[in-house]
């Protein structure tokens, strides 16, 4: 994410102050919060817009007195505005008390805020507030903020604890009796390479060592071909069938899949380990909320009059439900979609398999 102008001005001003503060040793009795901590927060602003943090924290339970901190050309900058800006530099974490920092730090943060005010005045003097492109961008941003706030508010009431419990029980019933295995694999491009490795293993070759040296799946190869625990449905059929037929410690013959040739070693098997309701709650809530939002949006679409036209003005059929592309249709960045061993993608694009309750 790019830095906003807002963030970059504050960051540039604040960083100078952090450096100055770091060079000023303090006696233990006069200790201030670490400059490194403040610097890390400012650096985080490189990738996060400095917007007010709406997450409540214990340290900000009481708002400080909203006095005037700065007067600039007749305009006031109040403490509440300074506090919101300060919190914005610590996205995702509890901000330290601004007043506990060295005066150099505080003034450099204020200098960044003052600079923003001055630049804004210059921009409006130059007529940029009336610029049509700027007005369009403001209108677009306003729509996005309104929609986001509305959906955040609405989604809070879309899922109940009872629905979460029901979804958990449904997953638990579906997973009853399922098994998962822990395996390693070596992936190579050709059958000849796979057969050569198989012969090497039969002669006592070290599976993990060979995986590190020869597997084209570098993500798992770095860990000796380790794929972790997975259920049968997480792999392409050819791979899954072979892996689940093996006994503990056995190594498969070469297996052909769309990704190349695999040699699989089964390390262990066990009944599927399912996370507790408490551990699964947030994930289930997110899943159910996404479904509820989709249903809500589809309801809005169905209740609306929508007409769809081609370039000649001829009306076309329009689906109000989200559907997968038809066979042969291309989508942006379209790629073949198939279930596959999560760690068998070539090079560094592989992802570690994720155990689910499905």
pLDDT digits (tens, 9 = 90+) for 296-353: 999 999 999 999 999 999 999 988 887 655 544 444 443 333 334 434 333 333 333 3
- At 105, list the tokens: 């730090």
Spatial CB neighbours of 271, under 8 Å, sequence gap ≥ 6: 177, 178, 179, 180
Which of 237, 249, 238 is closest to 181 using CA atoms?
249
In angstroms, how far apart are the furthest CA atoms of the chain?
A: 86
Alpha helices in the chain (DSSP H): 5-22, 35-44, 79-88, 103-125, 132-155, 161-175, 191-202, 207-214, 218-221, 237-245, 277-302
pLDDT digits (tens, 9 = 90+) for 108-123: 889 988 999 999 999 9
Q: Do residues 307 and 318 lie in contact, with contact meaning Cβ atoms separated by under 8 Å?
A: yes
Query: What does the H/E/C string look like for 252-265?
Result: CCCEEECCEEEEEE
Distance CA 263, CA 205 (A): 13
29 by DSSP, 3-state: which? helix
**The pLDDT of residue 7:** 52
Tokens 């006069």, located at residue: 30
- At 52, list the tokens: 């007010």
Distance CA 90, CA 323 (A): 40
Q: What is the DSSP letter of 251?
A: B
Q: Which residue has the higher pLDDT, 354 or 124?
A: 124
**The pLDDT of residue 9:** 53
Res. 61 pLDDT band, cuts 50 70 90: very low
Q: Do residues 48 and 7 lie in contact, with contact meaning Cβ atoms separated by under 8 Å?
A: yes
Phi, then psi, of 146 in degrees rounded to 5 = -65, -45
Judge if pTM exceeds 0.85: no
**The pLDDT of residue 165:** 95
Q: What is the DSSP letter of 99?
A: G
Q: Do residues 79 and 69 lie in contact, with contact meaning Cβ atoms separated by under 8 Å?
A: yes
Domains and CATH numbers, the chain: 5-130 (no CATH), 171-271 (3.10.50.40)
Burial class (CB in 10 A: 0-12, 13-18, 19+), 50: buried
pLDDT of 52 strictly over 70: no
**The pLDDT of residue 174:** 87
Element housing 71 (H / E): strand 68-72
- At 29, list the tokens: 């009795």
Tokens 């491009």, located at residue: 189
Res. 260 pLDDT band, cuts 50 70 90: very high
Mean predicted confidence (pLDDT) in 288-303: 93
Distance CA 160, CA 204 (A): 56
Strands 179-188 and 226-231: antiparallel
Res. 273 pLDDT band, cuts 50 70 90: confident
Angle between helices 5-22 and 103-125 (to 10 degrees): 150
**The pLDDT of residue 127:** 95
pLDDT of 19 strictly over 70: no
- At 19, list the tokens: 């450096």
Mean pLDDT across the chain:
78
**The pLDDT of residue 1:** 43
- At 323, list the tokens: 């559907």
pLDDT of 106 strictly over 50: yes
Distance CA 34, CA 82 (A): 20
**The pLDDT of residue 59:** 40
Strands 255-257 and 315-316: unpaired
Residue 340: which region, alpha, beta or left (left: phi > 0; alpha: psi -120 to 50)?
beta
Res. 274 pLDDT band, cuts 50 70 90: confident
pLDDT of 167 strictly over 90: yes
Q: Which residue has the higher pLDDT, 43 or 76?
A: 76
**The pLDDT of residue 33:** 47
């Amino acid at each position: 994410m790019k830095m906003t102008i807002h963030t970059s001005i504050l960051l540039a001003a604040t960083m100078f102050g952090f450096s100055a503060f770091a060079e000023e040793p303090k006696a233990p009795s006069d200790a201030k919060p670490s400059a490194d901590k403040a610097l890390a927060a400012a650096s985080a602003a490189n990738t996060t817009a400095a917007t007010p943090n709406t997450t409540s924290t214990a340290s900000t339970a009481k708002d400080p007195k909203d006095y005037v901190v700065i007067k600039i050309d007749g305009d006031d900058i109040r403490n509440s505005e300074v506090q919101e800006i300060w919190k914005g530099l610590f996205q995702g974490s509890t901000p330290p008390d601004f007043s506990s920092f060295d005066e150099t730090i505080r003034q450099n943060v204020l200098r960044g805020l003052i600079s923003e005010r001055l630049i804004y005045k210059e921009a409006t003097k130059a007529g940029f507030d009336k610029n049509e492109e700027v007005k369009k961008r403001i209108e677009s941003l306003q729509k996005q903020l309104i929609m986001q706030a509305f959906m955040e508010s609405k989604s809070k009431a879309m899922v109940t604890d009872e629905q979460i419990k029901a979804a958990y029980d449904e997953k638990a019933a579906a997973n009853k009796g399922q098994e998962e295995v822990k395996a390693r694999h070596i992936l190579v491009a050709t059958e000849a390479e796979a057969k050569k490795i198989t012969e090497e293993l039969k002669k006592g070759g070290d599976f993990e060592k060979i995986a590190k040296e020869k597997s084209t799946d570098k993500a798992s190869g770095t860990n000796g071909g380790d794929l972790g625990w997975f259920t049968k449905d997480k792999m392409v059929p050819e791979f899954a069938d072979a892996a689940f037929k093996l006994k503990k410690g056995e190594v498969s013959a070469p297996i052909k899949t769309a990704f190349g040739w695999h040699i699989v070693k089964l390390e262990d098997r066990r009944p599927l380990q399912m996370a507790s309701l408490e551990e699964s709650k947030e994930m289930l809530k997110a899943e159910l909320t996404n479904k509820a939002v989709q249903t809500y949006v589809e309801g809005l679409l169905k209740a609306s009059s929508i007409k769809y036209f081609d370039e000649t003005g001829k009306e076309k059929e329009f689906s109000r439900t989200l559907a997968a592309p038809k066979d042969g249709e291309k989508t942006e960045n379209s790629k073949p979609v198939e279930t596959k061993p999560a760690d068998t993608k070539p090079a560094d694009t592989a992802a570690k398999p994720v155990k689910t309750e499905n």
